[in-house]
Structure 1
Amino acid sequence: MKYLISVFLIFNLFFVNAQKIDTIIETEFIKKTALKADRFLGVDDFGNLYYIKNNTLTKKTNQKTYNYTNTQLGEISSVDIKNPLKIILFYKNFNTVLIVDNNLNELSRPINFNNSSFSKNIHLVNGSSNNNLWIYSLDDNTMQLYNYQNHKIQFTTQVLSFYQADFKVINLLCTYKDCWVIGENNILHFNEYGTFIEKTELIGFSELAFFKNTFIFLKDTHLYLYNDMASVPIHIKDKISIQSFYVNKNDMYIFDGTTIHVYKIVKN
């Protein structure tokens, strides 16, 4: 009798846990739009489209198109659009950050890290809250939160190899509060106070986007949702050659080099 009860409890536990993890994520096609761009950046909360063509940042709304170009600072390395009122452009070759408003007008003078008090070669930049920037430098292999109004470092993490030996940084994925440092096979999560939260192992991905409290990633031409240490396939009916993708709320924007395909994530 005890044996039967144990088997029953184990079966129930397995069944409940299995229900928690989806076997596939379904999507619903919304629309597609032709786009001539070198890099598709994403779509903000207002539905405005951002991309780079010939080293010019473009914002396209339903009514108007805005452009920003700065020939003195060279190639645009990255653009952070999560706050459409303070868009952050990073020019790595000139160690400089520019912040523009919703009309792509400069909000302040360029932030030149060569002239700052700590003078570092910055490799990656992403926005935070309260006039702060997440910055990563290979000079000391640390993450820092930098306030560009008072020109002060809010905090500095441990050397990243402290959390993971031989950790090689690829990119940053940040919200207003937290930041995920993307490595080749691992992701390091820090909160707004610079406290290390956790390490996530994720192997073989080429693109990564934040979705709710987890990630959607591209691996071997297919999209997956990271869910409880499992990779759940995202089903897309159409065959698309994915060059890049962006996720905003439940909408997923896939760029194939000439067209943006928009899908809604309907099951998660």
Structure 2
Amino acid sequence: MKNFATVFILLFSVFASAQEVFPATGRSVIFSGKADVYVGTDQFGAHYFISNNVFSKYTDGKRLDYNNVSKGNIAGADITNPLLLVLFYKDFNSVVLLDSQLNEIRQISFNDPAIPMQVQAAGLASQNRLWLYDSLSQQIWLYDFNAATRRSITPAVTDGIAWYETDLNHFYWIGNSQKLFVSDIFGKVNFLGVIPPNEICRITPTGTLIYVAEGKLYSIDPKKDNTVMIDLPEKSIRGIGYEDQNLFIFTGEGIIKYNIKLP
């Protein structure tokens, strides 16, 4: 899941060294429109946004909206599975599951006095489960939303979670000391690096990290410890996404698509 707090960190300390410049090609404008937050573009080409606390999906020239005023602000949205979308309402300690038409499947509250939990991060995991980070126990949990059961999978994350993103099998986070970690669904935690400032960052389905620093776009493969600057003409980057070798840049006025295979 992507969370929308301002991100001030990303990636390895080698950032200061010289980077390769990688050109992006095949530029095309695929969507025109304003929004507060660009959530992402899924594998079917649908675009997701949040504006005025309304979650919207644009596909084939049609717009679908979901608005739940009783839940407060949307703190995060997960579009990993377009058939099962996740909205995280941090202020109300709850999650809402939606289908592909943005119909509400269920609401899940974590305000159970028998098992207190203060959720600070949430995303979709595999096998009908949710990733959760609970600030009370300081642990990452897996929650089975069909069985309504939960189990912690990591030791206490004592450095906190300043930023996070999830896929079905991994929970990535950056702590307050600017260290990047990842946990798999079995609770195996790996340290990936200490990172310099950035404004926006995303993790691609292949594990490559893309981020914006001082108006420029970079990618890094943690396995290879290799940072590359992606050459773009856009001067304003408000959001980024990557799917099937397509790079999506949200400028605040629309989405620009590039055909690019990240190094």
> Does TM, scored on the shorter chain, surpass 0.5?
yes
* More RCO (CA 8 Å, sep 6+): 2
1:224 to 213, 218, 235: 218
Against the structure 1 CA distance between its residues 168 and 230, is the aligned structure 2 distance closer, same or farther, given a 3 Å change threshold?
farther
For structure 1, which runs of at least 5 residues remain unmatched after alignment?
1-20, 162-166
Q: 2:34 aligns with which of 33, 36, 46?
A: 36
Which residue is 1:196 aligned to? 189
Partner of 2:62: 64
**2: distance between equivalents of 1:249 and 1:183?**
29
> Normalized per residue, which structure has more strand?
2
Structure 2 residue corresponding to 1:47, chosen from 32, 39, 45: 45
- With normalisation by structure 1, the TM-score equals 0.84
Aligned positions of 1:112-261 closer than 5 A: 112-115=109-112, 117-161=114-158, 167-184=159-176, 185-211=178-204, 212-227=206-221, 228-236=224-232, 238-261=233-256
Alpha-carbon separation, structure 2, partners of 1:249 and 1:26 = 17
Instruction: Please give the secondary structure, in 1, of the residue aligned with 2:70.
Output: helix
Structure 2 counterparts to residues 95-110 of structure 1, below 5 A: 95-108=93-106, 110=107
Query: How many residue pairs end up in the alignment?
Result: 241
Higher Rg = 1
The normalised TM-score by structure 2 is: 0.85
Between the aligned partners of 2:262 and 2:134, the Cα distance in structure 1 is 39
For the aligned residue pairs, the C-alpha RMSD in angstroms reads 1.9
SS class of match (1:76): coil
Sequence identity (%): 26
Q: Which runs of 4+ in 1 moved over 4 A?
A: none
Deviation of 1:224 after TM superposition, in Å, equals 0.9
Q: Which secondary structure does the structure 1 equivalent of 2:163 belong to?
A: strand
Change (3 A) 1:267 1:80: closer
Please state how far the C-alpha of 1:214 moved relative to its aligned partner. Answer: 2.1
CA contact (8 A) 2:49 2:57 kept: yes
